[in-house]
Amino acid sequence: MKFIRYPNIKQQHKPSVVTIGNFDGVHVGHQALINKVVELASVKGLTSVVVSMQPLASQYFLGKHKVEILTPFKCKYKLIKTLKVDMFCVLNFNKSFSELSAEEFIEKILFNGVNAKHIIIGDDFRFGKDRVGDYNYLKEYCKSSGVMVDSINTVVRNTNRVSSSLVRESLSLNQFDLVKSYLGRRYSIAGRVRKGQQLGRTLNFPTININLANKVIVLEGIFCVKVAFSNGETHLGAASIGSRPTVNGTTKILEVHILDFNKQVYGQNVEVFFYHKIRNEVKFDSLDELKRHINDDVIKTRQYFENNINNNGALREQ
């Protein structure tokens, strides 16, 4: 997949089939839209192009550290790449870009930038200053240029229209199996293992600490998780997301106690998959009380996974 960035974009000479959107989460609705673009481009002998923004408009206007996103940019890139897209065009959302009119957006980005000959968008996508542009505006504007414009039907799961907002809401309610049906995969957080305060080790429950890199994450509490290392190795564990109030912590971090595991893994990249919430984060009166609850969390984690192992010894996925 070729990667290009606006405003450093050069004229894409080969005509293309294009879709535009935030694609936060790259959920099943996004996947259906992108798959349609790839399929149509293949049939017509054109280039398939996905256009997105970095930062997202909401992050630009509200601030990066105030907006919870489902997929950080690197994760979004990898997910879109798996869908066999020819080109990923990322627009630098800044002051000058935010002031582009809907007409300028079409001319500069879609026509002169990626040479769009067929555009497919979701029915809720808006573009241009003050969000003036929508499907009807785009379709009408493109008529005189002979550029086709289509929208795609909404994807529905469990009677709900799948959207990034719906995924975030379901995550906030810890409905991980429902989230899996919306994403088409289990929700996960990826990051690099860093050295922490090693408090868990002193409590006889060593943890790996994953740098959240200022990610705004809706989850908080204690969870049953699966940890996947970059070499393909996977392990089960109990994870904590929170500020660790018992030891007067202030920064939200992700810690995982991996069951029956005692290896040095600092610097390695891992992905943590979420299955079940055990409890909320609580400030305890002492480290001894904290240790007792961690022990209870580990017992409950073992019980959860034991109850969800199939006859072949593999983890059962709902």
Q: Average pLDDT, stretch 69-92?
A: 94
pLDDT score of 271: 95
How do residues 278-292 score in pLDDT, each as one tens digit?
Answer: 999 888 877 788 889
Highest mean pLDDT pick, 151-155, 287-291, 298-302:
298-302
Is residue 20 packed enough to be buried (19+ CB in 10 Å), middle (13-18) or exposed (0-12)? Answer: buried
CA 180 remoteness from chain centre: 12
Helix axes 28-44 and 176-183, enclosed angle (nearest 10): 10
Q: Average pLDDT, stretch 295-300?
A: 95
Highest mean pLDDT pick, 192-206, 233-247, 269-283:
269-283
Residue 298's φ and ψ, nearest 5 degrees, are: -65, -40
Identify the structural domains of the chain with CATH numbers, from first to last: 12-157 (3.40.50.620), 186-306 (2.40.30.30)
Q: Report the relative pairing of strands 2-6 and 87-92 from DSSP bridges.
A: parallel
Q: Average pLDDT, stretch 108-133?
A: 92
Range of lowest pLDDT (178-182, 217-221, 262-266): 262-266
Q: How confident is the model at residue 134 (pLDDT cuts 50, 70, 90)?
A: very high
Range of lowest pLDDT (7-21, 47-61, 88-102, 184-198): 7-21
CA 131 remoteness from chain centre: 24
- The 3-state secondary structure of the chain, one letter per residue: CEEEEECCCCCCCCCEEEEECCCCCCCHHHHHHHHHHHHHHHHHCCEEEEEEEECCHHHHHHCHHHCCCCCCHHHHHHHHHCCCCCEEEEEECCHHHHCCCHHHHHHHHHHCCCCEEEEEECCCCCECHHHCECHHHHHHHHHHHCCEEEECCCCEECCEECCHHHHHHHHHCCCHHHHHHHHCCCCEEEEEEECCCCHHHHCCCCCEEECCCCCCCCCCEEEEEEEEECCCCEEEEEEEEECCHHHCCCCCEEEEEECCCCCCCCCCEEEEEEEEEEECCCCCCCHHHHHHHHHHHHHHHHHHHHCCECCCCCECCC
Q: Is residue 107 pLDDT above 70, yes or no? A: yes
Partners of 52 in beta bridges: 90
The Cα 287–Cα 305 span in angstroms is 27
Report how far apart, in Å, the C-alpha atoms of 253 and of each of 188, 197, 213, 217 are.
15, 12, 9, 10
